[in-house]
Structure 1
Amino acid sequence: MTSATSERSRWIRLLILTVVAIVVAHALDATAWRSARLLTVNDKDWGRLLRSMGYLPTWGVIALGFWLQQRDHPRRAAYAWALVLGPALGGGMAEVLKLSIRRLRPNPDVFEYLFRPFADGPLSNRGMGMPSSHVLVAFTGAAVLAHLFPRARWLWYTLATGCAVTRVLAMGHFLSDTVVAAILGIGVGGWVWDRANRALPQASIPST
């Protein structure tokens, strides 16, 4: 099997897994809406911690910390920018998609998917939830960190998943809003990482 064929097969498998994950998430939306509720989650310390992973300034602090610490790193500036611009790009994508998809956030009293007509505030994403901005920001940042510190990738993705859980518990999003955002975030993070390494010869990339 040639490398091109292998790469094509890999992308086909990823596409299939993505579609399956989104379909399953929508199938479980009603169950999550009924059983996964903790409206006070954002009042709890652990809830605020996890949600902060989807707060863009958090990634600015993380990027600054990396830049201050890694003084001799050959890609110090590029990786620091990736840590903040990646989540910013993810957050911007979420807002654009909300305006395009226009699905409203969950109604705590009735399970239903509602969509706002384009004629009703075409440039306002007020009350829209697909995909979750917090989760897309969190997973984009986590994906960059997973490439940067691969031995701790489970930690970064656990924190990002925790952010998604808080959004569902708070009834801010359907489960599917967060799953779509997570998938997009991982993709955006990988793309940003590739751009950050584009100008660096492969042999110069430090192993972690």
Structure 2
Amino acid sequence: MNAWDLSLLHQINTAWSHPVLDWLMPALSAIEAWLPLIIVAVLFTGWRGGKRARVMLLCLGVAVGLGDGVISNTLKKAIGRVRPRDAMESVIVRDLGTASPAFMRLFEKPVVKVCKPNGEVRGKSFPSSHTVNMFAAATVIACFYRRAGLIMYLLAAAVAYSRIYCGAHWPSDIPPSMALGVLTGLGVVATLRRIMKPVTH
């Protein structure tokens, strides 16, 4: 591991910590906790947004499915990079408390603990699926609605940062994952627009 990678991990994961961030960062990472809100937003957008919004949602679904299920999954298996929390001691692991249904985790006290690696590997580090998915989604939205896309890019950047803060990813995992997400979003939008153009004309 590069010295700058270790140094930046220490700064974000340990030195730049705060009790408010100990809840906020795991909350941003816990996509499943936001699923009810995401479903409502998708349904409302599809209902009220018209044809343009429905095409955007189609692109969004394809981009996230491709980014998560194919690109991230394939690269994780091929590269096999170990997560910081599984590779070294002193990394602080942060997560939301357990609750059911998942959105109730947002109201639980966050769990903050110093990891002690025991040889167990809980997933692979590169790429960051959260980052790929969020930047793919932000790119798709920006292709259809620029202002909303800019907001999504800010949210995507916050989610990417949260993965380092929570000890799940190395800092060097993030920039390539951002690029993969952007390229996936652009590729899906360009491809589906080309496929759908003869159908809509």
Q: Any idea what the Cα deviations from partners look like across 1:9-43, whole Å, max 9, x if unmatched?
A: xxxxxxxxxxxxxxxxx673122111111497885
Q: Give the structure 1 partner of residue 47 of structure 2.
A: 68
TM-score (norm 1): 0.65
Question: What's the CA shift for 1:94?
Answer: 0.7
Q: Give the structure 2 partner of residue 47 of structure 1.
A: 25
Matches within 5 A, 1:35-184: 35-37=11-13, 38=17, 44=23, 46-52=24-30, 57=35, 61-71=40-50, 73=51, 75-92=52-69, 93-106=71-84, 107-109=87-89, 126-184=122-180
Gaps of 5+ in 1: 1-25, 112-124
Q: Give the structure 2 partner of residue 3 of structure 1.
A: none
Question: What's the CA shift for 1:137?
Answer: 0.8
Measured in 1, the distance between the counterparts of 2:79 and 2:60 equals 27
User: Contact 2:28 / 2:162 at 8 angstroms: preserved in 1?
Assistant: yes
Query: Per the alignment, do residues 109 and 29 of structure 1 end up closer, same or farther by CA in structure 2, a change over 3 Å counting?
Result: same
User: Contact 2:126 / 2:173 at 8 angstroms: preserved in 1?
Assistant: yes
Measured in 1, the distance between the counterparts of 2:151 and 2:46 equals 21
Q: Which letter maps to 2:55?
A: A
Question: What's the CA shift for 1:181?
Answer: 1.0
User: Contact 1:129 / 1:172 at 8 angstroms: preserved in 2?
Assistant: yes
Measured in 2, the distance between the counterparts of 1:51 and 1:143 equals 19
Question: What's the CA shift for 1:51?
Answer: 2.3
Q: How many residue pairs end up in the alignment?
A: 162
Q: Give the structure 2 partner of residue 190 of structure 1.
A: 186
Identity %: 27
Q: Give the structure 1 partner of residue 95 of structure 2.
A: none
Question: What's the CA shift for 1:67?
Answer: 0.8
Gaps of 5+ in 2: 92-120
Name the Cα RMSD after superposition. Answer: 3.1
Measured in 2, the distance between the counterparts of 1:55 and 1:180 equals 26
Measured in 2, the distance between the counterparts of 1:133 and 1:56 equals 16
1:32 counterpart = 2:12: no
Question: What's the CA shift for 1:180?
Answer: 1.4
Q: Give the structure 2 partner of residue 13 of structure 1.
A: none
User: Contact 1:143 / 1:189 at 8 angstroms: preserved in 2?
Assistant: yes
User: Contact 1:56 / 1:87 at 8 angstroms: preserved in 2?
Assistant: no
Measured in 1, the distance between the counterparts of 2:151 and 2:47 equals 22
SS at the partner of 1:87?
helix
Deviates more, 1:180-189 or 1:80-89: 80-89
TM-score (norm 2): 0.67
Measured in 2, the distance between the counterparts of 1:29 and 1:61 equals 39
Measured in 1, the distance between the counterparts of 2:6 and 2:21 equals 22
User: Contact 2:76 / 2:125 at 8 angstroms: preserved in 1?
Assistant: yes
Question: What's the CA shift for 1:127?
Answer: 2.9
Query: Per the alignment, do residues 84 and 61 of structure 1 end up closer, same or farther by CA in structure 2, a change over 3 Å counting?
Result: farther
User: Contact 2:26 / 2:166 at 8 angstroms: preserved in 1?
Assistant: no
